[in-house]
Amino acid sequence: MTEGSLSRLPRENIPLPDGSVLRRRSLVPDDAFIDAVAADVEHLGEWLRWAQHPPTREETAGFRAEQDADWDAGRSFVYVLTPPDRSDQVIGGGAMFPNGADGVLEIGYWVCSPATGRGLATRAAAALTEEGLGLPGVKAMEIHCDGANVRSAEIPPRIGYRLLRVEPDEPQTAAEAGQSMVWRRDGAGPHSVVQAP
């Protein structure tokens, strides 16, 4: 999407096949978010610029307020991933947001280290993709990830994305190589999806 906002908002709770749930960030207590990120800064901070240090209560409340305003205005949508039947524990997250291309939403995703290796990031990315493509005016979804982030780069082709290009990008964390892989999935036509492990 470019300027403006969507005429219809995505679901606030998106259940995944394993029972875990992507929940609108404001539906999960700040303490749960703070605890998850603070306990995993070394892992998350490798690839996420907002996770370079344990979040403070003030930062977390401020970001949540901004994210709420953007959600309500139909601009961008931030989720956290919670285990089955637990809205007070964060094991990852994701987001959908415009990236400047007309009719395109970009998604991002992350998983805390204790929850890696179970296919959660793949299932979360697939769910966000389907949710985004179901919104009015959205023609395609994109995933951008640094070429050095091998585990993240394995996800887009599993869920029907194709590699559009690799382009220079300013590194945001110490682990990034500065080469962004741009993946796209169009809304039309069938897509073969490889199931997460």
* Mean pLDDT, the chain cut into blocks of 10 residues (197 residues total): 68 96 97 94 82 91 96 95 93 93 93 90 97 94 93 95 91 81 82 45
CA gap 47, 152 in Å, rounded: 10
- Taking the whole predicted model, whether its pTM rises above 0.85 is answered as yes
**Alpha helices, DSSP H, located in the chain:** 30-38, 41-44, 57-72, 120-133, 150-153, 155-158
| In the block, residue with structure tokens 């991933």 | 81
What pLDDT does residue 99 have?
Answer: 86
Q: Cα(170)–Cα(147) distance, rounded to whole angstroms?
A: 12
C-alpha distances in Å from residue 136, one per residue of 39, 74, 116, 126, 142: 38, 11, 33, 18, 16
Q: What dotted CATH number matches 13-186?
A: 3.40.630.30
